[in-house]
């Protein structure tokens, strides 16, 4: 009995694919395509409106096209017993098709090559990255005032007093000097208009004018350390001299100063953060606080603004090795010229230390944040699909790396030398091409795999499970129909939405309809399967009450084509809410639901995704039954980690089975109380799925958010049955992986599903020396099944520089990516270590990173100065945000489920998402220009930046707060809320009224724009100043001290300085 509705119609590989009409096949007979310009092979399919952007809500209007069903319901509504048409004996054939581990062997049988050799230098131009060259003087020189309680390190109180007098009222920037600070160079000041862009290579301009009396140029200081020596090695970098390296003029002046105003005696840290035991303890009331001027310490807003001004106008061209891309907060266009776009891969550093000793000394983690299916901007070109014919993609014989721009052709083009392992491989006859006088193949520009950083290969049957081309995937919708789900209106909402949403299943190119089949299950303590075969007049229900040993009671008619079964499906979706309208069943099962979906996919021999809509802790008698084990008393104890661990290993085993089948599980949770996200999320997490959580779901306030999330989740680009392997050139090796996936060995990252929002962070370690000449290479290969059922390989290549000078490492770092890695590292750490240990380790590592810079790269200066590398000057503020986040230091209102949920979310976030999640964006709405499309300039996340007369918006990727000051003009309140005074704005408002005036339109358009930018629809919360909800809002003002004990930015910076000094002494 076959359950495959459409027979698999995978075209013979090797033939041009109809769906990729734009792409000129690169003639695997070996003939070049004379005169074919690069542009001629267009995108293999057009940008898909469905997933280029979050789906606009329009277009999903109620199912006008569905015929209404007047015939009587043939479904049995008795939910607790077997339906008359139960066909339980019709057990699905045992599909031991669960693939063996060896199935993946053809994909990546080899580990790293062990021959040392380099990368062809010709392929790796060594130009200094202009984007990475801060042209402002690099090191922030920040003498930190100390209190008498820091007896060991701090200057005597008298000198503090002196300092405060000396520096009172002064803004100190990176080069601000006491007497005559160069205009515009402070952190808080705008860039000088005369320096619109980064310096050109060789340009020595990025220093203030020499006429400034206190700007003394000196050569890089000889370092007393074992680290870098100034001199010849630098000459290999074809770029401007390192601006951060020479002692910055003005620093000398600051040695006597503090950074910023000293407002009074500084409190002891312990006293300042009662909730942070690791900062020391000092009983008794703190002395009145004196503090540093927040304006004088590095500002995230300024760094973001500066990068936008410097990098936003020009496209980022990826032809240069080791080039640091613009920040994630900068809107820029990418042009692929041989390296993967930063939308696909970002690194903590684009210049890797040559030796493991250097790397250890710096403590800078070497990691890449990879988003293999990232959505590009509409103007950017999707990866081309390349077909190398029946023998499959051309690969290195030894390490199996895929053909890429860094492979070097030799012997007239008959062989190529691998850029990863140096092994020489014969060029297959059909792939042969002559070389030009520079040694480049003459078809270089005709072949994406020779000239681009990212592209796809059509995989042959060798890359498929059981040597069989896959069937198109299936989506199974599994709806909790217990009492809570029905009463909240959720069941009706889901069914209503699915009627129209099913027309928007993922498809490619010009496909008229999606190849994805769909199936439906409802459940409470038992499961109800539905036969929606097109030939039926009415859907049929089959109930399985034996949840202990789950099976699928029907094969034919369960997974169907939407168009063919349209009438039956519509009828079913109409009937489900009615059938369960009077249910009294409150208990649910959970694991059997996943098992049912898994069995259905197994029977259909396809991969797919389960969309599970679930409301409560599964306490009904069944496998995977859970108990309520929430215990807030465990917080801050050694047992806190158990709150993040699953309460049973049952789900880990289930996850493994799901991954084997390519069954990805997306979970939509609607809890009214604890439902153990840490356990329920295990399968989702390990199968590459997504969790969405809507606590205390209410139709009026939450339905928009849920529906938008659901629409995007159903429509977004997703690859199934995916395996990712990261290869590296000799000398470094991928050693650790973070993200939502499963690993059955140490190298292959397996994901039942991988969507365009999911990110995998990969850490690298040295296993040998690297060379500055050859640099280092990464190749990420993702094997997956597309939504059409086509097996493909997506390849991303990235070349990095290597350095023998620590200063080069620090100059080419990216703090946002570093924070992404550190957060994921810490969030994984809480599973096995006490949270305090994790926090201390984070602080210690960052202190070591900064101390190493200070010791080896910064000019000699007094110990009272805090000197930060230019590229890392935000490390302290961002690190503090990670430390204060709810996972590592929960806020008062945060539940155990929230923490587990956030922990899982962050683990799959890309760099842009972690950036705004940890340091939210705060926009003064009342400063918005209603006549322009632009956003108002963001401000720093601190209460003291807020004015009572203004309205602000804060977003972090999950929530949008609109904060209204008590003194906001009545006119503005009228325009935005449609009421005449502040007091009339209702508490807990979650929408803005649609009003026809410029201010209302502007604010709503800003919110819409932000919603479009994020992968999840954010919850809107209106907060009135001095209302009790304001506490929630203030939790996100991350530069301030938090109620749960998190340090303020200023205090944390002082603490970091203390740590650094301790390391240096
Ligand atoms: Zn190789």
| pLDDT, tens only, 131-190 | 333 333 333 344 443 333 333 333 333 333 333 333 332 323 333 333 333 333 233 333
Distance 32 CA to ligand 1 centre (A): 25
Distance 1007 CA to ligand 1 centre (A): 49
Task: Give kind and range of the element (H or E) at residue 776.
Answer: strand 776-785
Distance 416 CA to ligand 1 centre (A): 10
DSSP character at residue 937:
P
Q: Which residue has the higher pLDDT, 244 or 1027?
A: 1027
Distance 776 CA to ligand 1 centre (A): 14
Q: What is the pLDDT of residue 291?
A: 59
- Give the residue-averaged pLDDT of 802-809: 96
- Give the residue-averaged pLDDT of 499-513: 90
Distance 398 CA to ligand 1 centre (A): 5
Distance 778 CA to ligand 1 centre (A): 12
Q: What is the pLDDT of residue 290?
A: 55
Distance 805 CA to ligand 1 centre (A): 28
The answer to whether the beta carbons of residues 547 and 589 sit under 8 Å apart is yes
Distance 780 CA to ligand 1 centre (A): 14
Name which of 417, 423, 445, 424 is nearest 319 in CA terms.
445
Q: What is the pLDDT of residue 252?
A: 29
Distance 404 CA to ligand 1 centre (A): 11
Distance 109 CA to ligand 1 centre (A): 12
Distance 691 CA to ligand 1 centre (A): 38
Name the least confident of 379-388, 504-513, 787-796.
504-513
% of the chain exceeding 90 in pLDDT:
68
Q: How far is CA 907 from the centre of its chain?
A: 8
Q: Does the pLDDT of residue 875 top 60, yes or no?
A: yes
Distance 138 CA to ligand 1 centre (A): 39
Q: Does the pLDDT of residue 285 top 70, yes or no?
A: no
For the stretch 145-162, pLDDT in tens is 333 333 333 333 333 333
For the stretch 616-668, pLDDT in tens is 999 999 999 999 999 989 998 999 999 999 999 999 999 999 999 999 999 99
Q: How far is CA 12 from the centre of its chain?
A: 36
| Two structure tokens written together for 623 | 């496998």
pLDDT confidence tier of residue 698, bands split at 50, 70 and 90: very high
Distance 400 CA to ligand 1 centre (A): 6
Distance 394 CA to ligand 1 centre (A): 11
Distance 100 CA to ligand 1 centre (A): 26
For the stretch 29-44, pLDDT in tens is 333 333 333 333 333 3
Q: Does the pLDDT of residue 454 top 80, yes or no?
A: yes
175, burial (CB in 10 Å: exposed 0-12, middle 13-18, buried 19+): buried
Distance 470 CA to ligand 1 centre (A): 28
- Give the residue-averaged pLDDT of 240-260: 33
Q: What is the pLDDT of residue 130?
A: 36
pLDDT confidence tier of residue 863, bands split at 50, 70 and 90: confident
Q: What is the pLDDT of residue 213?
A: 28
- Give the residue-averaged pLDDT of 491-503: 97
**pTM over 0.85, yes/no:** no
Instruction: Provide the 10 A C-beta neighbour count for residue 42.
Output: 15
Distance 589 CA to ligand 1 centre (A): 49
The residues with which 1041 forms a beta bridge, in sequence order, are none
pLDDT confidence tier of residue 88, bands split at 50, 70 and 90: very low
Q: What is the pLDDT of residue 1038?
A: 97
| Two structure tokens written together for 749 | 């990252």
Distance 417 CA to ligand 1 centre (A): 8
- Give the residue-averaged pLDDT of 929-951: 94
Residue 357 in 3-state DSSP? helix
| Angstrom distance (rounded) from CA 644 to CA 347 | 28
Q: What is the pLDDT of residue 865?
A: 86
Distance 401 CA to ligand 1 centre (A): 5
Distance 732 CA to ligand 1 centre (A): 14
- Give the residue-averaged pLDDT of 1016-1022: 96
Phi-psi region of 1026 (alpha: psi -120 to 50; beta: other; left: phi over 0): left
| Angstrom distance (rounded) from CA 75 to CA 847 | 65
701, burial (CB in 10 Å: exposed 0-12, middle 13-18, buried 19+): middle
| Angstrom distance (rounded) from CA 124 to CA 776 | 10
Distance 17 CA to ligand 1 centre (A): 29
Q: What is the pLDDT of residue 340?
A: 98
| Angstrom distance (rounded) from CA 775 to CA 124 | 8
Distance 408 CA to ligand 1 centre (A): 11
Q: What is the pLDDT of residue 697?
A: 96
Task: Give kind and range of the element (H or E) at residue 1007.
Answer: helix 998-1013
Where do the H-state alpha helices sit in 543-690? 566-579, 591-604, 650-661, 677-686
Distance 846 CA to ligand 1 centre (A): 36
Cα atoms found within 13 Å of the Cα of residue 246, Cβ hemisphere only: 21
Distance 728 CA to ligand 1 centre (A): 10
Distance 771 CA to ligand 1 centre (A): 18
Distance 595 CA to ligand 1 centre (A): 41
Distance 422 CA to ligand 1 centre (A): 6
Name the least confident of 85-89, 439-443, 463-467, 917-921.
85-89
Q: What is the pLDDT of residue 859?
A: 84
Ligand 1 (ion): residues with CB under 5 Å are 396, 398-399, 401, 418, 420-421, 423
Q: What is the pLDDT of residue 511?
A: 85
Q: Between β-strands 474-480 and 608-614, what pairing exists: parallel, antiparallel or unpaired? A: parallel
Q: Which residue has the higher pLDDT, 292 or 728?
A: 728
Distance 898 CA to ligand 1 centre (A): 45
Distance 421 CA to ligand 1 centre (A): 4
Chain mean pLDDT for the chain: 79
Name the least confident of 277-286, 470-479, 713-722.
277-286
Q: Does the pLDDT of residue 442 top 60, yes or no?
A: yes
For the stretch 546-571, pLDDT in tens is 999 899 999 899 999 999 999 999 99
Q: What is the pLDDT of residue 1058?
A: 94
pLDDT confidence tier of residue 968, bands split at 50, 70 and 90: very high
pLDDT confidence tier of residue 1052, bands split at 50, 70 and 90: very high
The residues with which 963 forms a beta bridge, in sequence order, are 952, 1023
Distance 462 CA to ligand 1 centre (A): 19
Distance 726 CA to ligand 1 centre (A): 13
759 φ, ψ (degrees, to nearest 5)? -125, 145
Q: Does the pLDDT of residue 438 top 60, yes or no?
A: yes
The answer to whether the beta carbons of residues 752 and 663 sit under 8 Å apart is yes
Distance 730 CA to ligand 1 centre (A): 9
Q: Does the pLDDT of residue 117 top 70, yes or no?
A: no
% of the chain exceeding 70 in pLDDT:
73
Distance 334 CA to ligand 1 centre (A): 28
Q: Does the pLDDT of residue 48 top 70, yes or no?
A: no
Q: Does the pLDDT of residue 210 top 90, yes or no?
A: no
The answer to whether the beta carbons of residues 907 and 828 sit under 8 Å apart is yes
Q: Does the pLDDT of residue 343 top 50, yes or no?
A: yes
For the stretch 902-936, pLDDT in tens is 999 999 999 999 999 999 999 999 999 999 889 99
DSSP character at residue 987:
T
Distance 425 CA to ligand 1 centre (A): 8
Residue 521 in 3-state DSSP? strand
Distance 770 CA to ligand 1 centre (A): 16
Distance 107 CA to ligand 1 centre (A): 14
pLDDT confidence tier of residue 232, bands split at 50, 70 and 90: very low
């Amino acid at each position: 009995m076959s359950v495959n509705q459409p027979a698999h119609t995978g075209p013979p590989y090797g033939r041009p694919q109809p769906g990729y009409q734009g792409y000129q096949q690169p003639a695997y007979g070996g003939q070049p395509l004379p005169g074919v310009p690069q542009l001629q092979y267009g995108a293999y399919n057009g940008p898909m409106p469905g997933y280029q952007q979050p789906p606009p809500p329009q277009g999903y209007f109620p199912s006008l096209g569905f015929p209404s069903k007047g015939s009587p319901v043939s479904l049995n509504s008795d939910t607790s017993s077997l339906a008359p048409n139960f066909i339980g004996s019709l057990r699905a054939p045992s599909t031991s098709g669960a693939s063996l581990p060896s199935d993946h062997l053809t994909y990546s049988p080899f580990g790293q090559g062990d021959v040392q050799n380099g990368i062809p230098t010709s392929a790796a131009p060594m130009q200094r990255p202009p984007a990475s060259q801060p042209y402002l003087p690099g090191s922030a020189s920040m003498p930190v005032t100390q209190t008498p309680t820091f007896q060991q390190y701090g200057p005597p109180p008298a000198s503090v007093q002196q300092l405060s007098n000396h520096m009172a009222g002064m803004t100190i920037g990176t080069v601000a000097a006491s007497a005559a600070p160069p205009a515009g160079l402070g952190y808080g000041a705008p860039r000088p208009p005369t320096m619109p862009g980064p310096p050109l290579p060789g340009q020595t301009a990025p220093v203030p004018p020499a006429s400034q009396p206190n700007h003394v140029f000196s050569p890089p200081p000889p370092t007393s350390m074992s680290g870098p020596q100034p001199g010849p090695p630098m000459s290999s970098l074809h770029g401007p001299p390192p601006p951060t390296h020479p002692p910055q003029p003005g620093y000398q002046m600051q040695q006597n100063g503090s950074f910023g105003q000293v407002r009074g005696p500084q409190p002891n840290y312990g006293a300042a953060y009662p909730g942070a035991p690791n900062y020391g303890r000092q009983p008794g009331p703190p002395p009145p606080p004196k503090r540093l001027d927040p304006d004088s310490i590095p500002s995230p807003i300024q760094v973001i603004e500066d990068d936008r001004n410097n990098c936003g106008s020009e496209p980022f061209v990826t032809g240069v090795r080791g080039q640091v891309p613009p920040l994630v907060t900068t809107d820029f266009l990418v042009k692929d010229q041989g390296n993967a776009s930063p939308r696909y891969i970002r690194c903590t550093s684009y210049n890797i230390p040559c030796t493991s000793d250097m790397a250890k000394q710096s403590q800078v983690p070497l990691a890449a944040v990879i988003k293999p299916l990232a959505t590009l901007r509409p103007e950017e070109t999707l990866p081309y699909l390349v077909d190398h014919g029946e023998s499959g993609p051309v690969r290195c014989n030894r390490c199996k790396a895929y053909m890429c721009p860094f492979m070097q052709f030799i012997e007239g083009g008959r062989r190529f030398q691998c850029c990863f392992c140096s092994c020489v491989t014969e060029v297959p006859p059909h792939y042969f091409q002559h070389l030009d006088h520079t040694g480049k193949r003459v078809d270089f520009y005709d072949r994406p795999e020779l000239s681009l950083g990212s592209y796809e290969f059509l995989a042959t049957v060798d890359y498929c499970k059981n040597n069989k081309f896959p069937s198109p995937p299936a989506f199974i919708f599994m709806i909790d129909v217990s009492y809570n789900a029905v009463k909240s209106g959720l069941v009706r909402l889901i069914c209503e939405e699915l009627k129209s949403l099913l027309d928007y299943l993922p498809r490619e190119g010009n496909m008229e309809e999606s190849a994805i089949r769909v199936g439906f299950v409802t459940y409470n303590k038992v499961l109800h399967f539905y036969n929606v075969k097109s030939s039926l007049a009415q859907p049929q229900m089959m109930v399985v009450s034996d949840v202990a040993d789950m099976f699928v009671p029907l094969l034919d008619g369960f997974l169907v084509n939407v168009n063919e079964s349209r009438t039956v499906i519509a009828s079913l979706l109409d009937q489900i809410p009615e059938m369960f309208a009077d249910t009294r069943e409150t208990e649910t099962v959970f694991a059997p639901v996943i098992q049912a979906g898994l069995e259905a996919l197994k029977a259909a021999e396809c991969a797919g995704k389960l969309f599970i809509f679930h409301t409560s802790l599964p306490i009904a008698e069944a496998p995977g039954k859970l108990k309520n084990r929430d215990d807030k008393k465990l917080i801050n104890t050694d047992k806190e980690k158990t709150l993040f661990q699953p309460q049973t290993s049952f789900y880990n085993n289930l996850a493994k089975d799901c991954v084997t089948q390519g069954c990805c599980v997306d979970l939509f949770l609607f809890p009214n109380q604890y439902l153990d996200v840490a356990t329920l999320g295990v399968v989702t997490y390990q199968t590459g799925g997504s969790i969405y959580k809507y606590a205390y779901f209410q139709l009026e306030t939450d339905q928009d958010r849920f529906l938008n999330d659901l629409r995007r989740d159903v429509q977004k680009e997703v690859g199934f049955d995916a395996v990712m392997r990261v290869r590296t050139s000799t000398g470094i090796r991928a050693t650790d992986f973070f993200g939502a996936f499963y690993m059955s060995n140490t190298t292959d990252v397996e994901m039942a599903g991988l969507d365009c929002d999911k990110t995998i962070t990969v850490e690298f370690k040295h296993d040998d020396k690297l060379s500055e000449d050859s640099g280092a290479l990464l190749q990420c290969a993702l094997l997956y099944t597309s939504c059409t059922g086509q097996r493909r390989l997506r390849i991303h290549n990235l070349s990095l520089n290597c350095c023998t000078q620590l200063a080069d490492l620090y100059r080419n770092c990216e703090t946002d990516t570093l924070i992404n890695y550190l957060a994921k590292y810490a969030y994984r750490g809480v599973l096995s270590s006490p949270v305090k240990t994790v926090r201390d380790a984070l602080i210690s590592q960052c202190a070591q990173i900064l101390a190493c810079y200070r010791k080896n790269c910064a000019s000699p200066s007094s110990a009272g100065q805090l000197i930060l590398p230019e590229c890392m000057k935000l490390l302290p503020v961002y690190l503090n945000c990670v430390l204060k986040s709810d996972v590592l230091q929960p806020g008062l209102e945060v539940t155990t489920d929230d923490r587990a949920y956030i922990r899982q979310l962050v683990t799959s976030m890309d760099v842009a998402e972690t950036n705004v999640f940890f340091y939210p964006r705060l926009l003064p709405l009342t400063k918005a220009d209603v006549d322009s499309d632009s956003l108002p300039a963001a401000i720093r996340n601190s209460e003291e930046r807020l004015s009572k007369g203004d309205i602000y918006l804060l977003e972090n990727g999950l929530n949008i707060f609109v904060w209204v000051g008590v003194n906001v003009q009545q006119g503005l309140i009228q325009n935005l809320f449609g009421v005449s005074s502040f007091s009339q704005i209702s508490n807990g408002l979650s929408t803005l009224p649609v009003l026809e005036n410029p201010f209302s339109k502007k604010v709503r358009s800003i919110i819409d724009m932000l919603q479009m930018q994020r992968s999840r629809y954010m919850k809107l919360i209106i907060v009135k100043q001095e209302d009790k909800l304001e506490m929630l809002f203030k939790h996100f003002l991350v530069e301030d001290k938090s109620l749960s004990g998190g340090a303020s930015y200023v205090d944390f910076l002082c603490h970091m300085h203390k740590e650094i000094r301790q390391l240096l002494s």
